[in-house]
Each structure stands twice: as C-alpha cells, then as structure tokens.
Amino acid sequence: MKTRFAPSPTGYLHVGGARTALFNYLMARRRGGRFLLRIEDTDVARHQEDAIDKIVQDLRWLGLNWDEGLEAGGPAEPYRQSQRLDIYRAHVQKLLDAGQAYYAMESTQELETMREAAAARKEAFKYPRPAALPTSEQAQAARDAGREVVVRFVCPAEDVTIQDDAFGSVTMPAAEIDDFIILKADGYPTYHLANVVDDALMGVTYIMRGQEFLAQTWRHVLLRRALGFAEPGYCHLPLIMDMQGRKLSKRDGDVEVHAFRVAGYLSEALLNFIALLGWNPGGDREKLSLADLEQLFGPDRLGKTNAKFDRDKLLAFNTDWAATLPEDRLLEAFKDFLSLNDTPIPAGDDDLLRTLLRVCKGFRTFADIAAKTGVLFAPDDAYAYDPKAVEKVLSKGERNGYSVLGDLLPALEAADWTPAALEDLLKGFCEKNALGMGKVAQPLRVAVTGTTVSPAIGETLALLGRAKTLARIRRCLAQR
C-alpha cells in the first residue's frame, strides 16, 4: 500500500490538513506500506512559497515523517507539480489524440451567458460539447487572435459509481456529468488532471482526503479509465466544524498547526486530539500516542458525521500530556516554544528551564509558563503594575500592602535566598504580625511582577534573585 499527503501551498498547514496527513501516515504504517509527500503548487495566483517550508516543518514537528517525496526523494521525482508540467501536457495530448479531450475557446462572458440561459430554462448548466471538435490548428488560430483556449475532457454519458471506505457506494448520475477542463489557458493542468496523473505515476494505491472532494471523485474515475490507470481505494474523511457548526478553513489562521505550536501546545496533544476528529479507537480510551495510533488505526472506525473542533477539549488534552510526559521531552518542547516567541526567558539555560517546568507544574500550555515567569527575567523597569491589583492588594485597608512591604523589606535584606528559606521567613513574618499568607504574598507578587499571578512566592523570589527582588520592592514603594 502507498498513501500520500498532497497539500496545496496556498496557506499554512491547518488542522484539517494535518488530520489528512496523519490518517494517511497511519494507514501506511498499519499496512506496512509507504507514505508519500507531494506538493500541489499549480495554483499560481494563490501560491505562497514560504508555505512549503512551513508545511514541511509542521509535519516534522508532529512526527509525521514520509518515506518518499519532497526532500526525501524517490523514483517519481520531482514531487512538486510545478516541476511536472511537461508530464501533464503529454497526458493531455494523449487524450486529445484519442478523441477523449478537445479544445474549447469560449470567453468567461460567453460561458456566463450560457449559464444564465440555462438558469432561465430552469436547467442545470452543462457545457455544450460541439458536434465537430476543434482542431489544433483552430485552437492555435484562436490563441493568435487573443482568445483563451482550454482543453476539456470528453465525459461518457454514463453513471459513475465510487466505492468509498467511509461513505460506501456513491453514484454520480450521468445527467449531472459534463465535460470539465483539464488544461487551463495558461498551460497549467487543473487539480483533477494533475492529481490523477501523479497518483498513478507515483504508485499511490489508497487515497484518503476530505469529504469535500467526494463529489468530484467521479472526474478522477473517468480520467483514470481514459488514461488506462488502475483504480485506487478511496476513503473520504468527515468535515471538521467549529463549535458553531461552521467548516474550518485554512483561511482561519488560528487553526493552523503552526499557530498551536507558537501558542505552546505539545505536538503529542495536538496529534492525539486531531486523531479523534471523525475516528475513534473503540472503548473509552482517549489518550493515544503516535505509536498507539499506528497499532489501532483503521478506516472501519471512521464516522460519517462532521467532527467538532472543541478547543476546551484540546486544552484539556494538552494539560494532561504536560502532566505525564518525561521532563526531558518537556524541556525539548519548551525550548522549541521559546525559539518561536519573543520572551525574556533565557532559552539556553537548561537548568533554569527545568526549574520553571517544575515550579509551574500543572500548566496548560507553555504560554502559561511564559505569562507567569517571563516578567522575572525582564528588566526591572520593563513591566507595569496592574491598576486593579494595585488598588485591591496595595492600597486598600488600614495596614495595606505598601505598609506590609515596608515592614518586610529589612527581613528580606538579611534572608537566606532559597525557596524554602524564603517561605519560612514569610511564614514567620505572618505569625509575628497576625497576618494571613495572602496578605503578605500578594503584595510581594504585585511589587515584583506587577500582577497577582506567579508561581509559589518563595520560588518566585528565588528565581528573581535577591538584588532584583529588593530593587523591585523599593521601586514599588517609591511609586505609591
């Protein structure tokens, strides 16, 4: 078996594309086959060159390594469609020579007039194939006259039935089939022609893709028959919708894989989550590694109903994975997050990063760690005080937070600077002054971070260091 993932670089990899890649990868691994990566970059108007590198990076971040294709090489090189134009044109010429394709020269306006006429007759528009197909000489004369010339496929007047592993038997009636374009006026193939030719020449035997392609698959079946290509297996995946029932799109930047990576999600969690969008392993088990999925996956447990992209569930998955992964793996992932974000946390200090992972235990994403601790590594004058925190924690009450900080400062100046020693000092200060820990810890947090959120106060002060802690307390007292 050989499967493939063939993204179009008109945008970055989004979760729907990642799920398609994952399921194709899993199908190949489960059946002892090969997984191929091809880039379908024939949409010149919408092409984004940097998207190719991002797609490759994000697939590798997810752990979906391919056996053949872009960068990996293989027997069917090249694996970018823009570098295979001569191959497509040769197959179009083969169809022209066999009378299974023909030139068409209508302008956009002429086609629109035809559609309007069909609508007026309350009929679905079908392209009217001419009785006498235009010759190559006539096509060239039309080009010379400035007209756009395309090539259309001759569709036989017969129903087309597809056997799909997810949706069963699907038939396109002959009445709804018309001659479609296979070569555009600019010499580039349409998606349908290039897709069919590449899948055949690259030996792809099983095609898994989104449900939106199911209604177009009859075109591929007819092209394969005309070109003498063997038929692959098909499996179309249910759509992924947001919680309001709208289809997710690659135009929604916040569902790009890279966006989740930048936001501090673990690849294990995202992969686990998208695997369950339209598929289930049976039973109640939900936490699944890539190795687990390789053993369990099969198209027999794919659903037909649309899947819902529940961000709260993804966040819960990420929290759970963060709580159970080995520290070395968390460190690797944390450093990747830091490399993608502008944060003052020193990314090269592994011991410090391990400490942050421990003191922020229970974090949901790495962005939580950055939000809680980044200020500790920023310049002393680079953070602002939250006005609400100042009002609530520092200004209110007879013995307000400013007063507590002033009384506490001498003790801190003489303290041993370890988390445990600082916690003991603060407990002793609370007992001596009949104060709850919150009446002391919260003013300290606001003074040294500007907010009421940080790791445990002893850990916070120890991470900040004696000199910076004292300087920040004095700065806070000076601005009251």
Sign of CA dihedral 338, 339, 340, 345: positive
For residue 285, pLDDT beyond 70 = yes
- pLDDT for residue 83: 97
Structural tokens at position 380: 């002393």
Q: What is the DSSP letter of 396?
A: S
Q: What is the DSSP letter of 35?
A: E
Among 426, 401, 400, 412, smallest CA distance to 469 is for 412
For residue 244, pLDDT beyond 90 = no
Percent of the chain with pLDDT over 70: 99
* CA–CA separation, 79 and 35 (whole Å): 13
CATH 1.10.1160.10 in the chain is located at 260-367
Q: How do residues 100-131 score in pLDDT, each as one tens digit? A: 999 999 998 999 999 999 899 988 888 999 99
- pLDDT for residue 396: 84
Q: Which residues does residue 210 pair with via DSSP β-bridges, in sequence order?
A: 237
Q: How do residues 438-465 score in pLDDT, each as one tens digit? A: 999 999 999 999 999 999 999 999 999 9
May I ask the CATH class of domain 1-242? alpha beta
Q: What angle do CA 19, 22, 23 make, to 5 degrees?
A: 85
Does the domain formed by 260-367 have CATH 1.50.10.10? Answer: no
Q: Do the beta carbons of residue 194 and residue 42 sit within 8 Å?
A: yes
- pLDDT for residue 252: 61
Instruction: Tell me the longest C-alpha to C-alpha distance in the chain.
Output: 103
* Mean pLDDT of the residues in the chain: 95
Q: What angle do CA 66, 69, 74 make, to 5 degrees?
A: 110
Structural tokens at position 396: 């209110």
pLDDT band, very low/low/confident/very high, at 43 (cuts 50, 70, 90): confident
Q: What CATH number has the domain spanning 387-478?
A: 1.10.10.350
Catalytic residues: 250
Give mean pLDDT, residues 70-84. Answer: 97
User: pTM above the 0.95 mark?
Assistant: no
Q: How do residues 336-390 score in pLDDT, each as one tens digit? A: 999 999 999 999 999 999 999 999 999 999 999 999 999 999 999 889 999 999 9
CATH 1.10.10.350 in the chain is located at 387-478
CA dihedral 220, 223, 228, 233 (to 10 degrees): 10
* CA–CA separation, 28 and 206 (whole Å): 9
- pLDDT for residue 47: 85
Q: Which residues of 375-387 are buried (b: 16+ CB within 10 A; e: fewer)?
A: bbbeeeeebebbe
- pLDDT for residue 85: 98
Nearby residues of 275 by Cβ (< 8 Å), 6 or more positions away: 19, 22, 26, 288, 293, 297
- pLDDT for residue 123: 87
- pLDDT for residue 248: 79
Give me the DSSP letters along 288-351.
--HHHHHHH--GGGB-SSPEE--HHHHHHHHHHHHHHS-HHHHHHHHHHHHHHS--SS-TT-HH
CATH 3.40.50.620 in the chain is located at 1-242
* CA–CA separation, 56 and 71 (whole Å): 9
